[in-house]
Structure 1
């Protein structure tokens, strides 16, 4: 896409500070078995693991998810292939924070109206707050 293209993709950063170590947050969030407990926008029930691909029933329908390999840098980037066949890359970082850890999720406006994008931003914020609640219990 050229800089003059009017159909650029909007991005919004959503974050939550969690009073746990970055390692604890990363290990929990990276475990596919935990996705239904906090990532309702991605997995509404148990996920199926097929090699390095996750298959999840989401509010959008069945999606496939591929996370980057586990790493020491707090990177939880993942590609979600939507029922339409479009693949969306979701950058996610678990960062050190003076109060514990900060999870930073970049939401991108791909195949979404402005209203749908705002809804997705709210859903991601809800998911991150749910992750915070689970881990701070």
Structure 2
């Protein structure tokens, strides 16, 4: 139980987002129409669902590795925090794209999508993770 606490403590947001990313990637691989039939249709106009799924899977998997390596050293360097910071910044860019798609949908339908506040907060959460990891220079 202590080992599980070590990996989860202070990083629950990152774990939840990582699992959600991997889950959405698998769901998109199985059924690419989910992006075209949702508010993310605006994203699917520019980026194919297959590429989106690959991107979600690659960043999610890399982030998972960063979370597992957090606190460990590879050749005398702590790579986990560096991976976490880079993937948090990459996720912030992706979430901005999703948020913009929902904002565009909101404008066209005349009222705000309830997903806009969530994706906006995900962006801020990711930027906070990247900042804390880099600023603290520790395994927080």
More helix per residue: 2
Computing the radius of gyration from Cα coordinates, the structure with the larger value is: 2
Q: Which has the higher strand share?
A: 1
TM-score (norm 2): 0.30
Q: Which has the higher contact order (CA 8 A, sep 6+)?
A: 1
Normalising by the residue count of structure 1, what TM-score does the alignment of the two structures yield? 0.31
